[in-house]
Structure 1
Amino acid sequence: MIELLSINPSLDRTLLASQFAATRRVQIRNVLTDVSARALHAEIVDRTPWGIAYGIGSDDPVGLSAAEFNSLSSEERSDIRVRIDKAMRARRYGFMYARYPILDAYLKRWAPHGPHDILLEHINDEPFLDLVRGVTGIPELRKADAQATLFAPGQFLAEHNDSHVGEGWRVAYVLSLCAIEWRPDWGGYLQFLDADGDIVAGYRPRFNALSLFAVPCAHAVSYVPPFAPIERYSITGWFRDR
């Protein structure tokens, strides 16, 4: 069986660690072997039952399974969009993207021993943890959660800072699995902002690239316009010290 998270043995971990130390963020390109990355991409594309996650202002975020989302009427889906747009116009918070909650699925045994379960176990196994510990210089990292995400046209993640350090969050990650040459005008960039609201860095959706950044940190995923293809696949989550 092909491993879904086989690390590229030629990574220059010393260089990556120095890059992270300088800015508290780094994007590791070709992080997995090509065979592993393509196998993981295929599993995510072909075997993920996409639900949806959205947030509106200060309300608790909502996560719907694929079955729950598919049961919504067109009027109910439209109402969600209208309320998100209204919140954003009022300078409140909002987001919407397709997702599959890998950790929840693992704990609740939605698909025992399936590819998503195997992926989560690999993320929490020593080879991958050691890579992240070494690059970030945070040896206390001991576990990670995960969700599969897909930003389709019309979806986005507004500026926020992941201020959950009290819950053990130390490093956010995005394992990008975008298997086409993504154009800048298709949006979907992982953006980092300074105190003045300026974008100081942005990572393009790529294939087989692991973005790591220390939290809290102001960041966003830019709006994906209607003409963009549905290809921005990724695995996201946080590495924790408890």
Structure 2
Amino acid sequence: MTSLRLSPGLDATALARAFQAGGQRLHIPGILVTEAADAIEAVLAAERRWKTTVAAGGTYLELPLDGRVAEDPAKQAWLDEAAVDGSSPLTQYIFDTRRLTAERELEVTRGDAADAVLDWLNSETFIAFVRTVTGDDRIDLADAQASRYRPGHVLTSHNDVSPGKNRLYGYVLNFSRDWRADWGGNLVFYGEDGHIEHGWVPAFNALNLFVVPTRHAVTQVASFAARDRLSIVGWLRSNTALGPQSREGDRRY
């Protein structure tokens, strides 16, 4: 298996200055050596055993897939009928997932490049790198899930606060090539006035990093998107309990 390594040209000290100047969020292109990014993309693109996870319009479910359809054909209608309630203030989502951390805990890992990402994210090298970039020595570990957003998939506004999880920073490792902004699937950040303050288009082999809490969303992938949005996402966490992070909290299902 290809070894996962940070690109040798990254300057963690310069990235740390950019992270603070950008309001504790940062886009880092070329995060991995090219052969590692290629290997991860290949695994995610070929994956068939996703689960679609839905919390939208009063529907709550997670169903195994065979490729792009329900593994149990009798349940396909559940997925076809899932839709976001646009009038609801609650966080809603529809996307495909492969829960890397949960699979590891259940000892059902597949031993591929996606599994290797979880090990790499928790390696001394990567933890030291993100501690330097964020200036935060409280980071002890990372969790991870692979995600696939197909046309119609979306994650509405939320701030990532989850009591007891000790989340310090959210991250997105992107593995979508040649993505266009008008395909949707963009990571957007909201200001206090509700306007979009900043945003990033999915970019192959790039790391997006931001402090928790930060109100953000993944915009709906367009019906005409030419490919799926592939990524590995999660949070950098502390082993020590955190104090209150937000008076508002996260209004999620």
**TM-score strictly above 0.5:** yes
Q: What TM-score do you get using the length of structure 1 for normalisation? A: 0.89
The 5 A counterparts of 1:106-121 are: 106-121=104-119
2:226 to 226, 229, 234: 229
State whether residues 88 and 94 of structure 1, in contact with CA within 8 Å, keep that contact through their aligned partners in structure 2: no
Q: Give the corresponding residue for 1:140.
A: 138
State whether residues 153 and 229 of structure 1, in contact with CA within 8 Å, keep that contact through their aligned partners in structure 2: no
1:159 to 154, 157, 160: 157
Q: More displaced, 14-23 or 196-205?
A: 14-23
1:175 to 163, 173, 176: 173
State whether residues 160 and 220 of structure 1, in contact with CA within 8 Å, keep that contact through their aligned partners in structure 2: yes
Q: Give the corresponding residue for 1:12.
A: 11
The 5 A counterparts of 1:1-242 are: 1-3=1-3, 5-22=4-21, 23-47=23-47, 49-56=49-56, 62-66=61-65, 69-71=70-72, 72-79=74-81, 81=82, 84-85=83-84, 87-164=85-162, 166-179=164-177, 181-242=178-239
Identity %: 33
How large is the Cα RMSD of the aligned pairs?
Answer: 2.0
Structure 1 residue 221: Cα displacement: 0.3
Runs of 4+ in 1 over 4 A off after TM superposition: none
Hey, what's the Cα distance between the residues in 1 that align with 2:220 and 2:125? 34
Matched to 1:78, the amino acid is: D
Number of residue-to-residue matches in the alignment:
235
* Cα 1:173–1:76 shift into 2, 3 Å: same
Unaligned runs of 5+ in 2: 240-253
Structure 1 residue 58: Cα displacement: 7.8
SS across alignment from 2:86 = helix
Structure 1 residue 54: Cα displacement: 1.5
Matched to 1:120, the amino acid is: L
Structure 1 residue 160: Cα displacement: 0.4
SS across alignment from 2:199 = strand
Q: More displaced, 49-58 or 135-144?
A: 49-58
* Cα 1:58–1:131 shift into 2, 3 Å: farther
Matched to 2:35, the amino acid is: V
SS across alignment from 1:36 = helix
* Cα 1:15–1:151 shift into 2, 3 Å: same
Q: More displaced, 207-216 or 64-73?
A: 64-73
Hey, what's the Cα distance between the residues in 2 that align with 1:202 and 1:183? 13
Higher helix share: 1
Q: Once the two structures are superposed, what CA deviation does each residue of 1:153-200 show, in whole Å capped at 9, x if it has no partner?
A: 001100000112642100100000012x11111011000001111111
Hey, what's the Cα distance between the residues in 2 that align with 1:57 and 1:92? 10
Unaligned runs of 5+ in 1: none
* Cα 1:103–1:44 shift into 2, 3 Å: same
Structure 1 residue 112: Cα displacement: 4.9
Q: More displaced, 30-39 or 70-79?
A: 70-79
